[in-house]
A and B are shown apart, each in its own frame.
Chain A
Amino acid sequence: MSDFNPKIVAFVCNWCTYAGADLTGTSRMKYSPQVSIIRFPCTGRIDFMLLLKAFASGADGIIVSGCHPNDCHYSSGNFHARRRWIVFRSLLDFLGIDVRRVRFSWVSAAEGAKWAQLVNETAEQIRLLGPFKRYHQLRGLGVE
């Protein structure tokens, strides 16, 4: 499994986690390059269908991260995301996706180190779980 390079997509909010990841950069902390960030205005904007789309398209793991509870730039978007995550999590088993493949977290603009740690932990976890192939066989059937 040593040559397995997981593909991890991070859905983050603009105000906390995106800025936190910027801080990781300005502090020159190193982390695993397998993660790529997609910027959203708020975790409240994240439609969890996107997570399924990402899995169906070849993602091995996903990070969703935004502002800590009560710190949302838009006051309540992260609570909506959390509620959505709770429901979505219970659906994952049914969908055949290991819940450990999705990491839901809060990283503030001041937590550059936490972001690096989160990415490294997630990358390690996904490396242990191996590639997510379950949906690959559906390709071409018009299902994805």
Chain B
Amino acid sequence: MARIGVFVCHCGENISATVDVKKVAEAASRIPGVAHSVEYKYMCSDPGQQMIRNAIREKNLTGVVVAACSPRMHEPTFRRACAEAGLNPFLCEMANIREHCSWVHEKSEATTHKAFDIVRTLVAKVKRNKALLPIKVPVTKTALVLGGGIAGIQASLDIANSGHKVILVEKEPSIGGHMSQLSETFPTLDCSQCILTPRMVEVAQHPNITLHSYSELESMDGFIGNFKVRIRKKARSLDEKLCTGCGLCVQKCPSKKISSEFDAGLGLRPAIYVPFPQAVPNKPVIDREHCTYYRTGKCRLCEKICPTQAIRFDQEDEIIEADIGAVVVATGFDIKHGDFFPEYGYGKYKDVIDGLQFERLASASGPTLGEIRRPSDGQVPQTVVFVACAGSRDPAKGIEYCSKICCMYTAKHAMLYKHKVHHGKPFVFYMDIRAGGKMYEEFVRRAMEEDGVQYIRSRVSRIYERGGKLVVKGADTLLGSRPLEIEADLVVLATAGVAQAGAEQLAQRLHVSFDAHKFYAEAHPKLRPVETNTAGIFLAGACQAPKDIPESVAQASGAAAKVAILFSQSELVREPLIAVVDRQAPPLYSSCVGCFLCQPSCPYQAIEKEEIRDRDGQLIKTIAKVNPGLCQGCGTCVALCRTKSIDIQGFSHEQVYAEVLALLNRGEDNV
């Protein structure tokens, strides 16, 4: 006879405000098989867990149901408490009466009744739970870092310095990411490249780091500690081993008028190019779309002049396979481009640019060598308008969130402009100034007070051209919404930070979830900010949400620490919630008839064939067998099996049918 303990939690008032917890505990005590039923203010607290441990020992419980929050929140907590009291942790279940009941319904009898229904359902399930032993799997101590921006660089260096191997994959020809494009960084105004490029070189030289630039993740299989990845190394059209990076080909290439991605479209580059002089690796790549040879079949000038004969026009993409134990996703962000702002003339007027383009104008390595000259005619602009929140915090544009970095970089832009054009007039249109961060508020104050940047609290309704000037229309909301117009020579839009274009496809390859804006979802917004819901995959930087450099670096180090923790164990313990094929005594041996319909349904190739032989070696039958190392416990084979010969531990047929019956008050256990 089962001896189940039911522990109903008030969760402070989170549950007890709408659910009559006393009634639920009292009604649960009458369910056949329930030997103990109590309620308490905080079950997850230490005294709460102690109650459970004591009850297990004193009442000799065979199963525990904790009616509290979501199992996604505290199942590990309570299972651990049970294990400490000597009860197999898999004999503990949680009845979710908070997220699925008390928080979503008004205080009423129906709500209390539903809470009890949930408890009764889980009691019926837990009676059929079986004691399970965890599965141990080995760990491959190599990390894959996706993205070579500052977050990926930091994560790679930290993991590599803790003594583990790292494979760093960057889709662009060079690592560096957005940070390498920046001129100077807030709030210290130190030059971005000066602090970044030494790190890039460190990555290239680190004995524990293998860098695959101009590469992308093709596919990933497996599970925590045992991922198998395929990396597509795109054809650079040259032999990287032979190339010395002398740059002769880049100088001589005849097609030179290609818009430079690195200069955000403001500069030009040849068809064979290195994105920027400090690139790592400093080896060129041929842009096959624009190269004369690939377009017309003629030219091959670079091949002729290359001193080491490194050019390979016939090179093909290469697939590299690797075994990986953990993944850090640091694929970064993008900013909104294109026809997103027709009312601002963005894309129509050459002198309406975005923040990243201004960074290039202000950068000493940029197309104007650091002089602020507007793109249309190369003149130094006398009046510059900076528009903060261009797209951010704007539900009408579909972006409700704050892009976080724009307030600070706009202040920086205005400041840099003023430092370079002393007589110039910078205006900033803003909604609110969000300068939370060490020395951030002081920085914005400095822009206003020392550099005389004019801040106008207004949104911009329209930008249009009039007599060679860009008219910016707004209304000063601090002066009674007085309409105002400013004639500017250059307009800089702090466009919203958004997820990378391929974020969704990558998420699907990695099986990680993302939010409504395609930013990757962390496992818990407060307590597990660097983990994803997929074990062994961690997040760093702006792929999770817009972030500035210090935050990205901090999160990258956090993710690296998580990887190091994982790699500090020689084997991992996995939950045994996996499928098993029925085995029984002769003469049947197994109810499996060997149709193997389950085999193609398994996404993990975990189903193998097993031959059952008698003692003379005569084949009796061939049946399915689940490889416990590969099975991830999705249960697709279970629902598919015609003879119901496969069952899944933790969600067995017996358990789920009992749940349905109990929920509908039709089981043998009903009150």
List the B residue with the shortest CB-CB distance to A67. Answer: B513
A5 proximal to B (CB < 8 A): yes
In the bound assembly, the distance between CA atoms of A69 and B641 in angstroms comes to 23
Tell me whether A73 and B511 are in contact (CB under 8 A): yes
Q: Which chain B residues numbered 463 to 516 have a C-beta less than 8 Å away from chain A? A: 507-508, 511, 513-516
Q: Does B37 contact A (CB under 8 A)?
A: no
Q: Is the CB of B103 within 8 A of A45?
A: no
Instruction: Give chain B residues whose Cβ lies under 8 Å from the Cβ of A104.
Output: none
8 Å CB interface, A44-88 against B: 44-48, 50, 53-54, 57-59, 70-77, 80, 84
Taking a contact as CB atoms under 8 Å apart, the answer to whether A21 and B657 are in contact is no
A65–B118 CA distance with the chains assembled, in angstroms: 18
Cβ of A61 to closest chain B Cβ, rounded Å: 12
Checking A5, A24, A38 against B104 with a beta-carbon cut-off of 8 angstroms, the contacting residue is: A24
Nearest B residue to A42, CB-CB: B634
Which of B71, B636, B666 interacts with A57 by CB under 8 Å? B666
Chain A positions within 8 Å of B514 at CB level: 110
Which residue in chain A gives the minimum CB-CB distance to B516?
A110
Known: A22-B100, A38-B660, A45-B648. A110 touches B521 (CB 8 A): yes
Give chain A interface residues in 1-37, CB to chain B under 8 Å: 5, 7, 9, 14-16, 18-19, 21-22, 24-26, 28-31, 33-34, 36-37
Residues on the A chain within 8 Å of B110, using CB: 5, 33-34
B635 touches A45 (CB 8 A): yes
Proximity bits, B516-540, A CB within 8 Å = 1, else 0: 1000010000000000011000000
Q: Which of B99, B118, B633, B657 lies at the interface centre, i.e. has the most chain A CB atoms within 10 A of its CB?
A: B99
**Interface of A (DSSP majority class):** loop
In whole angstroms, what is the CA distance A30 to B639 when docked? 33
Task: Count B-side interface residues using an 8 Å CB cutoff.
Answer: 56
Number of contacting residues on A, CB 8 A? 52
Kindly identify which residue among A30, A38, A41 contacts B663, using a CB–CB cutoff of 8 Å: A38
Residues on A with C-beta less than 8 A from B603 are 74-77
Question: With a CB–CB cut-off of 8 A, which chain A residues contact B105?
Answer: 30-31, 33
Within 8 A of A (CB), among B636-664: 636, 638-640, 648, 650-651, 653, 656-657, 659-661, 663-664
Q: Which residue of B lies closest to A54 (CB)?
A: B660
Q: Tell me, rounded to whole Å, the shortest Cβ–Cβ distance linking A85 to chain B.
A: 12
Across the interface, A77 reaches (CB within 8 A) one of B534, B634, B666, namely: B634
Query: Nearest Cβ in chain B — how far from A69, in angstroms?
Result: 10
Q: Which residues in window 90-110 of B have CB below 8 A to A?
A: 96, 98-101, 103-106, 108, 110
Q: Does B533 lie within 8 Å of A19, measured CB to CB?
A: yes
Residues on A with beta carbons closer than 8 Å to the beta carbon of B660 = 9, 38, 50, 53-54, 57
For chain B residues 594-613, which have a beta carbon within 8 Å of chain A? 601, 603-604
Q: How far is the CA of A9 from the CA of B659 in the complex (A)?
A: 11
For chain A residues 100-115, which have a beta carbon within 8 Å of chain B?
A: 108-111
Let me know if A30 and B636 touch, CB within 8 A.
no
Q: How far is the CA of A72 from the CA of B663 in the complex (A)?
A: 27
Interface centre among A5, A40, A72, A111 (most CB of B within 10 A): A40
Q: How far is the CA of A95 from the CA of B104 in the complex (A)?
A: 34
Least distance between A74 CB and chain B CB atoms (Å): 4
Whether A116 sits at the interface, judged by CB under 8 Å, is: yes
- In the bound assembly, the distance between CA atoms of A29 and B100 in angstroms comes to 11
**Interface: B117 (CB within 8 A):** yes
- Docked Cα-Cα span, A44 to B96, in Å, equals 22
Number of A-B contacts (CB under 8 A): 151
Q: Please indicate the chain B residues that have their CB under 8 angstroms from the CB of A26 in the complex.
A: 99, 103
Of all chain B residues, the one with the shortest Cβ separation from A69 is B508
- Select one of A14, A34, A36, A84 contacting B121, CB under 8 A: A36
Chain A residues within an 8 Å CB radius of B633: 41
Residues in chain B near residue A59, CB distance under 8 A: 664
Chain A residues with CB below 8 A from B659, complex form: 38
Please report the C-alpha to C-alpha distance between residue A19 and residue B512 in the assembled complex, in whole angstroms. 13
Among B73, B633, B636, B663, the one with the most A-chain Cβ atoms within 10 Å of its Cβ is B636
Q: How far is the CA of A72 from the CA of B604 in the complex (A)?
A: 13
Contact A40 B99 (CB under 8 A): no
Do B100 and A109 have beta carbons less than 8 Å apart?
Answer: no
Query: Which residue of A9, A70, A80 contacts B636 across the interface (Cβ within 8 Å)?
Result: A80
Q: Tell which of A16, A50, A57, A84 touches B656, judged by Cβ atoms closer than 8 Å.
A: A50
* Chain A positions within 8 Å of B117 at CB level: 36
Query: How far apart sit A58 and B636, CA to CA, in the bound complex (Å)?
Result: 26
Contacts of A14 in B (CB 8 A): 72
B83 to chain A: closest CB distance in Å?
21
Complex contact A16–B100 (CB within 8 A)? no
> Please, which residues of chain A bring their CB within 8 A of the CB of B657?
50, 53
Q: Are B664 and A76 in contact (CB under 8 A)?
A: no
Task: Report the bound CA distance from A108 to B70 in whole Å.
Answer: 16
Known: A30-B105, A33-B105, A54-B660. Is A76-B636 also a contact (CB below 8 A)? yes
Q: Tell whether, in the assembled complex, residue A36 and residue B118 are in contact, meaning their CB atoms are under 8 Å apart.
A: yes
| A77 CB, nearest partner CB in chain B, Å | 5
Contact B99 A22 (CB under 8 A): yes
Establish whether residues A84 and B639, one from each chain, have CB atoms under 8 Å apart when the complex forms.
Answer: yes
Q: A33-B105, A38-B659, A53-B660 are in contact. List 14 more A-B contacts (CB 8 A).
A: A18-B70, A22-B72, A29-B104, A44-B634, A54-B664, A57-B664, A70-B508, A71-B508, A72-B511, A74-B636, A75-B511, A75-B603, A80-B601, A110-B514
Which residues of B approach A to under 8 Å, CB–CB? Answer: 70-73, 96, 98-101, 103-106, 108, 110-111, 113-114, 117-118, 121, 507-508, 511, 513-516, 521, 533-534, 577, 601, 603-604, 632-636, 638-640, 648, 650-651, 653, 656-657, 659-661, 663-666
A sample of 9 inter-chain contacts (CB < 8 A) reads A26-B103, A38-B659, A41-B634, A47-B639, A70-B508, A74-B634, A74-B636, A109-B513, A109-B533
Q: Which residues of A approach B to under 8 Å, CB–CB?
A: 5, 7, 9, 14-16, 18-19, 21-22, 24-26, 28-31, 33-34, 36-42, 44-48, 50, 53-54, 57-59, 70-77, 80, 84, 108-111, 116
